[in-house]
A and B are shown apart, each in its own frame.
Chain A
Amino acid sequence: MTLRDFIPHLPGCASARFILLGLLSCLTSISQAQSVNPLEGNSRAITGGGSLFRAQCATCHGADAKGIATIDAPDLTMIWSERDLSVSEVFSTIRDGVPGSIMPPHKLTDSELWMLVSYLQDVAVAGVTDLPAGDVAAGAEAFRMNCSACHRAHGQGGSLGPNLNAITTRRSLESIMASVRQPSVIIGRGFKPVRVVTSGGEEVQGVLKSEDAFSLQMLDERQRLRGFQKTELQSLERLQQSVMPPFSRTALSDSDLYHILNYIQSGAAQ
Chain B
Amino acid sequence: MTKPAIKIFLALALVCVPQLPVLAQSGPSYEDILAGFSDPERWLTYSGDYSGKRHSPLAQITPENVSTLRPIWTFQTGTTTRGRGFETTPLADDGVLYVTGSNNLAWAIDARSGRTFWRYRRNLPSDLTYGASAPVNRGFGMLGERLFMVTLDAHLLAFDRRNGDILWDRELADYQVGYAATLAPLVLEDKVIVGISGGEYRTRGFIDAFDPVSGERIWRFNTIPGPGEPGSETWPDDPAVLAAGGGGTWMNGSFDPDLNLIYWGVGNPNPDYYGDSRPGDNLYSNSLVALDADTGELKWHYQFTPHDLNDWDSNHMPVLAEIEWQGQPRRVVMLGNRNGFFYVLDRVTGELLLGKPFTATTWARELDADGRPIILNDGSQGCLPDPWGSTNFMPPTFYPALELFILTARETCATYVPEEPANTPGQSNFGGTAVIDAEQGSGALRALDVHSGDLVWEFTYPSPTFGGVLSTASGLVFAGDHEGNFMAFDAESGENLWHYQTGSRIWGAAAMTFMLDGRQLVLIPSGTTLTAFALPD
* A contacts, CB < 8 Å to B: 51-52, 54-56, 58-60, 62-64, 68-73, 97, 100-108, 211-214
Cα-based distance from A51 to B421 in the complex (angstroms): 8
Q: Are A69 and B438 in contact (CB under 8 A)?
A: yes
Q: Are A102 and B428 in contact (CB under 8 A)?
A: no
Q: Are B485 and A213 in contact (CB under 8 A)?
A: yes
Q: Are B426 and A107 in contact (CB under 8 A)?
A: yes
Q: How far is the CB of A185 from chain B (nearest CB, A)?
A: 13
Tell me which residues across on chain A come within 8 A of B487, comparing CB atoms: 213
| 14 extra interface residue pairs, beta carbon distance < 8 Å, beyond A51-B419, A63-B433 | A54-B432, A55-B421, A55-B427, A55-B431, A56-B427, A59-B430, A63-B417, A69-B438, A73-B83, A100-B80, A102-B83, A105-B132, A211-B462, A213-B459
Cα-based distance from A72 to B428 in the complex (angstroms): 20
Q: Indicate if B81 sits at the interface (CB-CB under 8 A).
A: yes
Q: Are B417 and A54 in contact (CB under 8 A)?
A: yes
B272 to chain A: closest residue by CB? A59
- What number of A-B contacts does a CB cutoff of 8 Å give? 97
From B135, B433, B501, contact of A58 by CB (8 A): B433
Cα-based distance from A100 to B124 in the complex (angstroms): 13
- Known contacts A71-B83, A212-B483, A108 near B419 by CB under 8 Å: no
Q: Are B430 and A55 in contact (CB under 8 A)?
A: yes
A107 to chain B: closest residue by CB? B426
In the complex, per-residue mask of B403-418: 1 if CB is within 8 Å of any chain A CB, else 0: 0000000000000010
Show 30 A/B contacts (Cβ-Cβ < 8 Å), sorted by A: A51-B419, A54-B433, A55-B421, A55-B422, A55-B429, A55-B430, A55-B432, A55-B433, A59-B430, A60-B83, A62-B435, A63-B433, A70-B438, A71-B82, A73-B83, A101-B82, A102-B134, A104-B128, A105-B126, A105-B127, A106-B427, A107-B427, A108-B427, A211-B462, A211-B483, A212-B481, A212-B484, A212-B485, A213-B459, A214-B496
The secondary-structure label for the interface of chain B is: loop
Q: Indicate if B372 sits at the interface (CB-CB under 8 A).
A: no
Question: Please, how many residues of chain B have a CB less than 8 angstroms from a CB on the other chain?
Answer: 45
Q: How far is the CB of A229 from chain B (nearest CB, A)?
A: 10
Cα-based distance from A70 to B435 in the complex (angstroms): 14
Cα-based distance from A213 to B126 in the complex (angstroms): 40
From B128, B426, B438, B484, contact of A68 by CB (8 A): B438
Tell me which residues across on chain A come within 8 A of B482, comparing CB atoms: 70
Tell me which residues across on chain A come within 8 A of B84, comparing CB atoms: 102
Q: Indicate if B493 sits at the interface (CB-CB under 8 A).
A: no
Of the candidates B84, B132, B482, the one having the most CB atoms from chain A within 10 angstroms of its own CB is: B132
Cα-based distance from A101 to B501 in the complex (angstroms): 23
